[in-house]
Chain A
Amino acid sequence: QTVVTQEPTLTVSPGGTVTLTCASSTGAVTSDRYPNWIQQKPGQAPRALIYSSSNKHSWTPARFSGSLLGGKAALTLSGVQPEDEAEYFCLLYFGATQVFGTGTKVTVL
């Protein structure tokens, strides 16, 4: 059973920068896992932010960026805003199946 692991919690100051990572139990995360990043605020439906490692949806704020870093997928938030406080999930594709990461709760403090 594939496990996709993220940092459980991260705290960042307003205006600061934070990087979330996404690791796979099967080995290095590469572009053919098409890493996605999804934001979810309490009581709301998930919202897609990043796909295929670094591509942004039309609604994704410029301060969000995705990359592959040291065998993991990464999401960097630069110039963090209070409204970025949320849980962030990565998603990896493994052929016919897909696995979400464990989620990272980002606190803006």
Chain B
Amino acid sequence: EVQLVESGGGLVQPGGSLRLSCAASGLTFSTYWMSWVRQAPGKGLEWVANMNQDGSQKYYVDSVKGRFTISRDNTKNSLYLQMSSLRVEDSAIYYCAREFDWSKDYWGQGTLVTVSS
């Protein structure tokens, strides 16, 4: 059974940093693209970033370029999102998702990030 478990969320002040993790199990992690998707309270879904199997291709939504960095450690079956220069508008639940055949077939339960002073 595929499982994706996010962690690392919390309360952070504007301008601060946070690193999210996504632990994957039940899949051959190193063979899949992976994505981060976020959802602000009461709002819709927003794709944030994704990366390919070996990390040589990374893509970001414009609003996080230069502030967020997606990475992975295939030896630990883990995906990461390093977030810096955080803004109030970055407050959201952050989900990781597996990319397969132009779909996000498996999703984690999410981790909540709150940016507030």
Establish whether residues A91 and B44, one from each chain, have CB atoms under 8 Å apart when the complex forms. no
Are B103 and A36 touching (Cβ within 8 A)? yes
User: Within 8 Å of chain B (Cβ to Cβ): is A109?
Assistant: no
Closest B residue, CB atoms, query A47:
B107
- Tally of contact residues, B, Cβ under 8 A: 22
Chain B facing A: main interface SS? strand
Interface assignment of A70: CB less than 8 Å from any CB of chain B: no
Contact yes or no, A100 B101, CB < 8 A? no
Enumerate chain B residues within 8 angstroms of A47, measured Cβ to Cβ.
Answer: 107
Given the known interface contacts A46-B95, A97-B59, the answer about A91 and B46 at a Cβ–Cβ threshold of 8 Å is no
* Residues in chain B within 8 A of chain A (CB atoms): 35, 37, 44-47, 50, 59, 61-62, 95, 97, 101-110
Q: Which residues of A contact B (CB under 8 A)?
A: 1, 34, 36, 38, 40, 45-48, 51-52, 55, 57, 89, 91, 93, 96-103
* Interface contacts beyond A34-B102, A102-B44: sample of 11 additional A-B pairs, CB < 8 Å, sorted by A: A34-B103, A45-B109, A46-B45, A46-B97, A48-B103, A52-B102, A89-B44, A89-B45, A97-B47, A99-B47, A103-B44
